[in-house]
Amino acid sequence: MNRLIFLAAAAAIAIPAPAAASELFGGVFVHDVDTPLTKSGIEDGGDFQIGWRGGGIALTPVQPYAFVSLNSSGDTSFAAIGLSAKFGDALYIRPGLGLAVHTGSAKNFTDFSNDKIEFGSRILFEPELGVGIKVAPRVSVEASWVHLSHAQIFGRQNPGVDNIGLRANLAL
């Protein structure tokens, strides 16, 4: 319960009022997919994501974003803020880089036998990549990959976590 209160507070701080937003998004993700970028595949469940993306900064394709991702199995949930850039219109690619705070373990262990990801830090990098298509004037859908890790800055171990899923975007 404390984790949900924490994430709700983080979302309230990180996400501006909807009137200032240029896009809202929501998605469903497979949590902790075992990929070559992680030593994980430990946690279970799906992630439900809801967020905001602002308009371009100073006539560039760079957009600020903030979102919350809640895990359905009670494993690691997180809130992230960062910058992404959208290249293309009807068909597009959207790379992004942010920082995330998570509810998982911040311990710096290398023991993977305890069914928990030991992230090594409470704050992690959050690179992401989306590939999308516009399906209506204000609606797009994108396949998205979201990664969390500390890039071995806070220790040699760095299991990380990869989430892969779909987002629906609604331009305001």
CATH of residue 64: 2.40.160.20
How sure is the predictor about 1, in pLDDT bands with cuts at 50, 70 and 90?
A: low
Q: What residue type is assigned to position 75 of the chain?
A: D
Sign of CA dihedral 160, 24, 74, 163: negative
- The number of distinct structural domains making up the chain is 1
Q: Which of 13-27, 37-51, 133-147 bottoms out in mean pLDDT, i.e. has the lowest?
A: 13-27
Average pLDDT score over residue span 129-143: 97
Alpha-carbon distance 40 to 2, whole Å? 25
pLDDT digits (tens, 9 = 90+) for 55-75: 999 989 999 999 999 999 999
Residues of the chain with pLDDT > 90: what percent? 64
* CA 101 vs CA 24, 35, 49, 93, 140: distances in Å: 20, 22, 14, 25, 27
Q: What is the DSSP letter of 15?
A: S
Global pTM reads 0.83
Residue numbers of the domain that contains 21: 2-171
